[in-house]
């Protein structure tokens, strides 16, 4: 299945509301890059509020999609990382360095606006 990607003005909004399996995560990576290309979006918010579990593969895919999007000229903010997910990421030694994060979708959008204005 595919993760829906919403275009809103210059931004793409994604809420991941299922536990990602490997295939879905890779499909999402491909879809998001395609959508950035198609829409010329300047910013992306990926909301993980509903994600309770994350493994090293998914974390790697997410980390990569952020870097790939940046290469294409779109800033990415990850929002709503749950306590258990934060614990897992650090336990796995995955720090998502240089990836901006925020508490929720609204604050993620604010952060993007600030970054794009700088």
Q: Does 103 bind a second copy (CB under 8 A)?
A: no
Identify which of residues 64 and 106 has a Cβ nearer to a second copy in the complex.
106
Identify which of residues 48 and 65 has a Cβ nearer to a second copy in the complex.
48
H runs (alpha helix) in 40-96 = 56-71, 83-91
Q: Is the dihedral of CA 111, 42, 27, 93 positive or negative?
A: negative
**For residues 77 and 110, is the Cβ–Cβ distance under 8 A?**
no
Q: Does 62 bind a second copy (CB under 8 A)?
A: no
| Residues 17-36 interacting with a second copy (rule: CB under 8 A) | 17-18
| CA gap 84, 17 in Å, rounded | 16
Residue 77: both structure tokens together: 């903010």
Q: Does 67 bind a second copy (CB under 8 A)?
A: no
**Judged by CB under 8 A, which of 2, 38, 93, 97 binds a second copy?**
2
- The span of 8-16, 32-40, 54-62, 89-97 binding a second copy (CB under 8 A) equals 8-16
């Amino acid at each position: 299945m595919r993760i829906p990607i919403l275009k809103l003005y210059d931004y793409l909004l994604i809420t991941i509301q299922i536990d990602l399996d490997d295939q879905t995560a890779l499909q999402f990576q491909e879809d998001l890059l395609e959508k950035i290309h198609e829409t010329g979006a300047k910013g992306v918010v990926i909301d993980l509020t509903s994600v309770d579990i994350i493994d090293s593969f998914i974390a790697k895919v997410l980390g990569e999609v952020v870097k790939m999007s940046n290469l294409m000229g779109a800033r990415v903010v990850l929002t709503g990382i749950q306590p258990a997910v934060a614990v897992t990421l650090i336990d796995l030694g995955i720090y998502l360095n240089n990836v901006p994060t925020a508490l929720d979708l609204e604050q993620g959008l604010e952060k993007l606006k600030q970054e794009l204005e700088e």
